[in-house]
Amino acid sequence: MALSNTDLKKGTIFQLDGQPYRVVDYAQKVMGRGGSIVNVRIKSLIDGKVLSKTFKGAETLESADIASRQVQFLYREGDIFHFMDTANYEQFELSGEEINKQAGFMKDGDMVTAQFFDDKLIAIELSKNLPLKVTYTEDAVRGDTSSAITKDAKLETGLVVKVPAFIKTGDEVSISTEDGSYRGRV
């Protein structure tokens, strides 16, 4: 399916030079006589690089055929992450470079959404907030309530985040996968 340059709204996935991209930013400028110019920032779904592109007039682009399905995160072996499709037991791998910051949010056995392009696993998608258990944090200092006090807490995945002073070891907290911030106690 062909896309016009004005279809490139934020979040749109399309294909450019045989690679899938997602639109991160979109700005359209209408020229006096005739066409318009569309400036976009796009992120490659293969290697994660962000590019700035300008599309003019009636240029058309091809939409990318990205398939999504649930897979199970099996384990991490060095810098390689192993996943399995629970329907047919097919296994896939992604490198730590392709996983990026998402590695700190996954634990063995978690179900994640995998994105496939040309039957090849290209990326995983986590839910916006994940419940994770606090494995270690310092005890709160009694009487220290002068302001919003935060402290470091180590989670079951090894990730360290800032949490409020009332969180204790063993508590389950909700963490934002976008920026790794504390969202609340579960």
Task: Return the pLDDT at 5.
Answer: 75
**14-46 per-position pLDDT tens digit:** 888 888 988 889 888 887 776 788 889 998 888
Confidence of residue 147 (pLDDT cuts 50, 70, 90): low
Nearest to 108, CA basis, from 172, 145, 67, 158: 158
Task: Return the pLDDT at 1.
Answer: 66
Task: Return the pLDDT at 89.
Answer: 92
Most confident of 49-58, 86-95, 137-146: 86-95
14 vs 88: CA distance, rounded Å? 28
Three-class DSSP category at 33: coil
Residue 154 has pLDDT above 90, yes or no: yes
CA 42 to each of CA 19, 48, 67, 107, 113: distance values in angstroms, whole numbers, following the listed order: 11, 9, 19, 30, 21
CA diameter of the chain: 69
185 vs 84: CA distance, rounded Å? 30
Total residues belonging to the chain: 186
Task: Return the pLDDT at 172.
Answer: 94
The tokens of 173 are what? Answer: 């907290």
The tokens of 122 are what? Answer: 């290209």
Better-scored residue on pLDDT, 133 or 141: 133
Tell me the domains of the chain and their CATH numbers.
2-63 (2.30.30.30), 67-125 (2.40.50.140), 129-185 (2.40.50.140)
- Share above pLDDT 70 across residues of the chain, in percent, rounded to a whole number: 95
Task: Return the pLDDT at 103.
Answer: 84
106 vs 110: CA distance, rounded Å? 7
Task: Return the pLDDT at 6.
Answer: 76
Task: Return the pLDDT at 9.
Answer: 86
Please compute the mean of the pLDDT values over residues 62-75 and round it to a whole number: 90
DSSP state of 100: G
Confidence of residue 165 (pLDDT cuts 50, 70, 90): confident
Residue 182 has pLDDT above 80, yes or no: yes
9 vs 20: CA distance, rounded Å? 15
Task: Return the pLDDT at 92.
Answer: 92
120 vs 18: CA distance, rounded Å? 14
Whether 2 and 45 have beta carbons less than 8 Å apart is answered as no
Task: Return the pLDDT at 34.
Answer: 67
Pairing state between β 13-16 and 50-56: unpaired
Confidence of residue 70 (pLDDT cuts 50, 70, 90): very high
